[in-house]
Structure formats: structure tokens, C-alpha cells
Amino acid sequence: MYNPPEIKISNFDYPLEEENIAKYPLSERDKAKLLSLTSDKKIEEKYFYDLPEMLDSNTFLILNDTKVVHARLLFQKESGSVIEIFCLEPMNKDIQLAYAQKGSCEWKCLIGNNKKWKQETISSSFINDSKQLTLTAKRLYQENETWIVEFSWDREDLSFAEVLQYMGHVPLPPYLKRKDEESDKEDYQTVYAHQEGSVAAPTAGLHFSENTFKQLADKGVKTCFVTLHVGAGTFKPVSTETIDRHVMHTEQIVLKKENIEELLANLDKRVMCVGTTSVRTIESLYWHGVKVLKNGNRYSEIDVKQWDPYQEECRISAKESLQAILESMEQENRNVLIGQTQLMIAPGYEYRIVDAMITNFHQPKSTLLLLVSAMIGEDWKRVYQFALENNYRFLSFGDACMFTK
């Protein structure tokens, strides 16, 4: 097996100019371009509204239904300076419970303009339904580049998710280099977003419209919705010379028992994931099953480490892995599987469940580009060069591409 730590990140660079980055989405989601690399390695140009014609009933489509929260909080001081608190993850590891908390909560945050924060606490107010809401923030302690911040608010009828909805700003990717606008509340959210918890959108899904889903259903394409809450680490480029020194970000996964049953029942079909987050979810599920088989039921929650797949050769089938997970859940009488993944998919990785993916065009020297290369090899260079030469729109609000291993 190819040793991922020997991979030089400089081999995954390309010239991305500012003019290639889509700063805003198209007015109609499904009118984005869709570049397809066929099984015989030919490049085909389509539009996203062509997707239902391109797929057949032998496709099992998996999407990430996470919902972006308004994770950026702005506190303006009397002097006029603004302190920004970016909520990264709750200290309560169950994200759903963390957003449901009322009255107060503690989060790991990034703080912008931290030097201007002189007092013990800072506050900001907002009028909602003719009632004033005041949010107070208190720094507790520092952890490397982040701070643990305690939030409290004076409306105990509101959950923290509702507080963020009213007072927070959409956490647009930093490379867009613009302030969030009212339209972003809808534009930077998939039409099927359901589970609150992400600070970044699963952007490949932004192209789907309700009409797309209707046409796919008419073709007999089955869909499955899983949840991976996207963290800010997804934007972190690889800054080390080789990837063995890069620390992969960790993200939370939530899967229902029925998700695993559906996947097991459709392994004979072409399993296609929408977005790199769905890919990481499904591949992490396989490695969780491997741990269950090798170590019994000591692994009742998903905890996949960065280099788990690269430690030794594994001949366990996808079916065996998924069946082991189901048996474990049944023994524990559990209907939901929660955990985290730090899985890094890089060239040399052997895809165990995923056969194909729909994704966007990613940043140079990113782990997302490594994941794409793991599926299509050196062809990523030809695909990206073609896209640059033919005015495709890159990154979160950009065009889409479809690959098959």
C-alpha cells in the first residue's frame, strides 16, 4: 500500500486566481455547470439540471443533511471597535443537546480583535418579537489558538440555536473575502438542511433543488440522508511539506440505524456520495465496523483516527463491517450512532463503500483535493486545468464535478 506520509503537498497545488472564485451563487441552483469524468476517462460538460438523466435506478445517492448555524457573533464596543466570536464547537460533545441548551452554555471559540476585550464580559442586544434579547459572553480560559467562552442570555424561553439564529451571522468561507448578506441565510444552505450543527455548508449539495429530487425519484434513484457536522477545519490548508505532519480536523457524525440498514441493502448498487463530507461519513462508518469486528463491542461510538486505514492491510468486506455495526447496535438497543471522525483520505487510500462522488472544485493544497485524487488519481490535474481554461466557477458557490473510481 502507498504510504500517505510520503506525499508532498506541493504536488497538489494549482494556480487559482481570484477571478476563478465564485463570490455569489447563481440565481438558480441547478444551473451550475457539471463536469463529469466518465469511466473511460473522458471529460463531459453538462449542467446540474442534467443530473437526473445521467443517473439511473442503480444509483444509491447519499447526502449530508447538516444545517449551517449562524456561528459568528459580533459585539460592538462603545468605542466603535467590534469583537467577533466564532463558535467552533460546544464543550458538551453532543451537538444537538448543545444547541438545545437554554440560559447558558460553554463553547470553544475563535476571537477576533481579542486585544480590545478588556472587561470581564461583553454584551450585545437584539430585538425579537418586540422583546429585547441580551447575550453576554465571558472568556474562561485559553486553549492554544482558541478560547473557552461562556454565553448567557436573558430569555430562558430561547435555545442557543435560536439565539444564534437571531443574533449570529452566516459563517461564510474566509476565501470569499466579503461580509455576509441577508441572501446568504438561504443561499449558503442546502434545500434539505435539517440537523443544526455546521459552521460550513456541505457545498456540493447547494446545487440540488426540489425539482432535482423529484426527477431523481421519478428515475428510481434512492436517496439517503446522513449527518456530518462540518467544522471550520475543513478550510485549513495543508501547510506542512508532507502530509504526515498535518493534523486532520475532527468532525462529528450522527447516523440512524435505518441509514446503515439502507446502505447495507443497497451495496450492490453504485454508491454515490454528494460532497466530501458524505464521503468521509460513509468511509468512516466502514472503519468503525472494522474496529467493532476486531475489538468486540468496546467501540460503541464512532472514533476513527486520521491514519486508521493505513496501519495494516484489511480484507473485511463492506457487508461484514456494516452487519457488525448493526449487530452491535441491536445488542445495545441503540437506534442512533454518534461519534467523530478524523479520517484523512489521500492517494493510496482504498475506497471501501463509496463508488462515486459529486463535489465542487476545491482549494489548492487542501485535504479535500487529496480526497478527490484518491478516487481519480492524477486525472485531477487534467480536470482542474480543463475547468480553469473553460471558465468554471471554483469553491463553495462554484460549479460541480462528478467522479467515479
CA distance 216 to 239: 40
Indicate where the chain has its CATH 3.40.1780.10 domain(s). Answer: 4-67+191-404
Nearest to 66 by CA among 187, 170, 160, 199: 199
Asked if 318 and 285 count as a contact pair (C-beta separation under 8 A), the reply is: no
pTM of the model: 0.93
Asked if 88 and 106 count as a contact pair (C-beta separation under 8 A), the reply is: no
- State phi, psi for 57 to the nearest 5 degrees: -65, -5
Helices (H) and strands (E) in the chain, counts: 10, 18
Asked if 306 and 343 count as a contact pair (C-beta separation under 8 A), the reply is: yes
- pLDDT at residue 300 in the model: 78
CA dihedral 86, 92, 95, 98 (to 10 degrees): -80
For the domain covering 4-67+191-404, report its CATH number.
Answer: 3.40.1780.10
CA distance 246 to 237: 9
Per-run averaged pLDDT (10 residues), the chain, 405 residues: 74 97 97 95 97 97 97 89 93 85 94 92 86 93 92 92 94 94 97 94 97 97 97 84 91 96 98 98 97 80 93 92 94 92 94 98 96 97 98 98 96
- pLDDT at residue 321 in the model: 97
13: left (phi over 0), alpha (psi -120 to 50) or beta: beta
Give me the DSSP letters along 48-66. GGGHHHH--TTEEEEEE-E
